[in-house]
Structure 1
Amino acid sequence: MELMNPAERHAQALESERKAWILVADKLPGAPGHDPNLWELWKATVEVADEAKRALMIPGRRSGAGAESVLQHLAHEADFKPFKGGPG
């Protein structure tokens, strides 16, 4: 697995969080069609983005190893495709 610099990792994490939000925005807890699994996955993307932001702010800190597994799981859910760093 190729390691990204902290800025690239943060950009990817933010894009993944945005895409996950699109999946849950109209299905919030208590709303019709709420999917608790997708909701938990969105919350996990928020944590990944927060960790990536901390890695930017603290020199030498890498984002958590669990971040990649969250993104891979999201890629599998509902044909979700994480941002890969380029157009199209």
Structure 2
Amino acid sequence: MSHSKCLRCRSRVWRDVPAAESAGFLCPGCGSELEPVTDLSELIGLRALRVRPRSPLRQSADHSERISQQIRQTIAAHDAERQRRIDALRP
């Protein structure tokens, strides 16, 4: 995997090729030649023109269900804590 940057249009591009093979790629935004990135801190503040694809594990069918379940559990815990505080204030 390699990251490249275009200082002309202040953008960054991720490619699924080794850094040694990424020379000569053109910026999809403005068409100028992309520069290789040696340190990821060089990408801070640049807009992403091509994002890194998600891994198959993150795209699983039950991923959304797990997130929904965690949200429901958090809401239930907050509701229970709120009710406990209300009950503690009652004489």
TM-score, normalised to structure 2, is 0.28
TM-score, normalised to structure 1, is 0.28
Q: Which of structures 1 and 2 has the bigger CA Rg?
A: 2
Q: Which structure shows the higher helix fraction?
A: 1
* Bigger RCO (CA 8 Å, 6+ sep): 1
